[in-house]
Chain A
Amino acid sequence: MNQYFDIPSDLQHSYLGLIGLHLQEALLPVLFGLLIALPIALVCARFNWFYAPVLWVTTVLYAIPSLAFFVVLIDYTGATETTVMIPLTVYSLVLLVPAIVEGTRAVSPDTVAAATAMGFGSFRRFVQVELPIAVPAIMAGLRLAAVSSISLVSVGAIIGNQGALGNLLHDGMIYHRDPLIVTSVVTTAVLAIAVDGLLVLAQVLLTPWQPHGRAAARRARTGPGDDIGPGTDPAGDNVTGKDLTGTDVTGKDAAPQDAAALGEAAR
C-alpha cells in the first residue's frame, strides 16, 4: 500500500493534507460563485432584458480553457492557489447564474401571484418563494459546478504544483511511480462522487415537500407513454410523472438528473 500513499516530500503535504487542499481549492470557488451568482440572478429576474447579455458574457467566459485562464492569470496573481481559484469561481458562476434564473423563472405564475397577493415585495418573494422552489434546479447547477471544479483543480499542477492531488500526477511521472498517478485519479474521482452525493442529500433536506425515495422512484418509472393498460388510467394526466401540486418547478423532481440536463443545455 505504501507505494500508493507514500507522498513525495516535495509536495509538503500528507495524503490527507492533499485531500483537504484539493477540497479547499475546488469548493471555495463554488461557494464564491454561488454568492456572486445570487445577486446577478436577482437582477436578471427583475429586469428581463438584463439576462440575455449576462448569458452571452458567461458563455464566452466558459469558452476560455482552464489551462489558458490559469496561465494568463499568472502574470497578475503569480503561480499561487488564487490563480487556480479565480477561473474555477468564474466557471461556477457561469453554471449557476442560468441555473438560478431558469429555476426561478419556471416557478408557476400562480404561486408568484399568490405570494404577491399576500403582500410579498419582489425581493422578499425572490428570496422566500422563488428561490426555495427553484432549489432542485439550483442544486443541479451546484452539482455540475462542484464536480467539474474538483476535476479541474488537477490541471493546476501544470502551472507549478498548484494542483493539490493533481501534483501527484506530475511527481508520479518524474519519479516513475505509477501508483501515485492511480492514487491521484481514483481519489479525485471518489471526492467528486462523494461531494455530488452530499449535495443530493442536501437537496433532499432542503426540499422536504418533494417526493423522494420510493415514491419518486415509482414515478420515474412511469415514463411518457409507458404502457398503461385499458381501464387502468385513473391518473391519466400524470403519466409524465409531473407533480400535481403545482409547486413542482420542472416536473423533474423524480429524477434528479433532469434538471442537470437542462442546465447543461442552457450553457
Chain B
Amino acid sequence: MNLLHFLNSFFSDGANWHGENGIPHRLVEHVEYSAIALAIAAAIGLPLGLFTGHTGRGGYALSAFATGARALPSFGLLVLMTVWLGQLGTTPAMVPLVALAVAPILVTAHEAIRNVDPAPVDAARGMGMTSLSVLFQVELPVALPLILGGLRSAAIQVVSTATIAAYISLGGFGRYIIDGLAQQTYAQVVGGAVLVAGLALVTMGLFWAVGRLVVSPGVRRRR
C-alpha cells in the first residue's frame, strides 16, 4: 500500500496543482507534444498508406520503411537529435516521436485499404466512379475502423513515449518522473507515472468515441 501512500501525498500536495510545474500546465505540454507529433506522422503516413493501398503497389518498400522506422530506438534518437540540433525548442523530441508513430499509421492504412472486400470496390468501379471517389467513398469508409486502430495505437505509443522528452529538459508529465528520480522524491515519480498512464487510457477512450462517431453504422454492425 506503499504506492497508494505515495499517490496520496503527490496529488494532495497543493503545490502540484499550480504554476509552471503544476499538473494542468504539464498536461497541456504533454498533450501538445503528443498531438503535434501525431499530426505530423498522420500527415506523412495517411496519404502514403491510402495511395499505396489503393493502387496495391509499393507494399514491400513500405514494409521495409516501416521496419526501419520501428527499429530506430526512440530514446537514442532523442539524445542524438539533441546533440546534433541543440535545444531547438521541441524539434529534438518531435523527430523520435514522429518516427515512432509513422510506422503503425502507414502500415495499417495500407493494409486496411488493401483488405477491403473487392466486391463493393468492383461494383463502385462498374457504376463509373472515378478512382478517387472509389478510394474516398467506398474503400476509406470500409477501412476506417482499422485505420483508426492504427492511429490509436500510434497515439498511445506517442503519449507514453513523450515522457522521455523531459530527459532533454522539455516539459510534460515526464518532468515529474525525471525530476523525482533526480531529487529522490518517489511520490513525484509515482504520481507522474500514473498521470501518463491515465492520459494514455483517456487517449484510448477518445479514439473509441471518435470511432463511434465517424464509422458508418453499416460497417460497425458487420464487425
Contact = CB atoms under 8 A, between A and B. Distances in A.
Nearest to B2: A75
A154 B73 CA distance: 7
Interface string A45-67: 00000000000000110111111
Contacts of B121: 224-225
Interface stretch (B16-24, B36-44, B103-111): B103-111
13 contacts: A64-B160, A68-B192, A69-B193, A147-B67, A154-B74, A172-B79, A181-B79, A185-B73, A189-B73, A222-B56, A225-B118, A262-B111, A264-B104
Interface string B107-123: 11011101110100110
Q: Is the interface of B mostly helix, strand, loop or mixed?
A: helix
Nearest to B67: A196
Contacts of B197: 63-65, 68
Contacts of B159: 65
A67 B190 CA distance: 11
Interface string B49-64: 0000001110110110
B132 interface: no
Contact of B74 (A151, A178, A190, A193): A151
A227 to B, nearest CB: 10
A214 B62 CA distance: 18
A239 interface: yes
Given A64-B160, A68-B196, A266-B149, A151 B73 contact: yes
A104 interface: no
Given A65-B200, A67-B177, A188 B73 contact: yes
B108 A261 contact: yes
Contacts of A151: 70-75
A224 B118 contact: yes
Interface in B174-212: 174, 177-178, 180-181, 186, 189-190, 192-194, 196-197, 200-201, 203-204
Interface residues of B, number: 65
Interface of B: 2-3, 55-57, 59-60, 62-63, 66-68, 70-77, 79-80, 83-84, 104, 107-108, 110-112, 114-116, 118, 121-122, 125, 146, 149-150, 153, 156, 159-161, 163-164, 167, 174, 177-178, 180-181, 186, 189-190, 192-194, 196-197, 200-201, 203-204
Contacts of B83: 172-173, 178, 181
Interface string A198-233: 000000000000000000010011111110000000
Among A60, A150, A157, A264, the most chain B Cβ lie within 10 Å of the Cβ of A264
Contact of A257 (B55, B66, B75, B122): B66
Given A67-B177, A223-B57, 15 more contacts: A65-B161, A71-B181, A147-B70, A158-B178, A166-B76, A172-B79, A184-B73, A188-B73, A189-B71, A220-B59, A221-B56, A224-B56, A257-B66, A264-B107, A264-B153
Contacts of B79: 169, 172-173, 181, 185
Interface in A148-162: 148, 150-152, 154-155, 157-159
A260 B107 contact: yes
B116 A261 contact: no
B149 A64 contact: no
B131 to A, nearest CB: 10
A251 to B, nearest CB: 8
Interface of A: 59-60, 62-69, 71-72, 75, 144, 147-148, 150-152, 154-155, 157-159, 163, 165-166, 169, 172-173, 178, 181-182, 184-185, 188-190, 192-193, 196, 217, 220-226, 239-240, 252, 255-258, 260-262, 264-267
Q: Is the interface of A mostly helix, strand, loop or mixed?
A: helix
B201 A63 contact: yes
Q: Which 5 A-B pairs rank lowest in CB-CB distance, beginning with the nearest? A: A223-B56, A68-B193, A265-B149, A257-B63, A261-B111
Given A72-B3, A75-B186, A154-B73, A65 B111 contact: no
A68 B112 CA distance: 32
Nearest to A223: B56
Contacts of A66: 160-161
A151 B108 CA distance: 21
A154 B75 contact: yes
Contacts of A220: 59-60
Nearest to A168: B76
A208 B145 CA distance: 33
Among B60, B75, B178, B193, the most chain A Cβ lie within 10 Å of the Cβ of B75
Contact of B70 (A192, A224, A262): A192
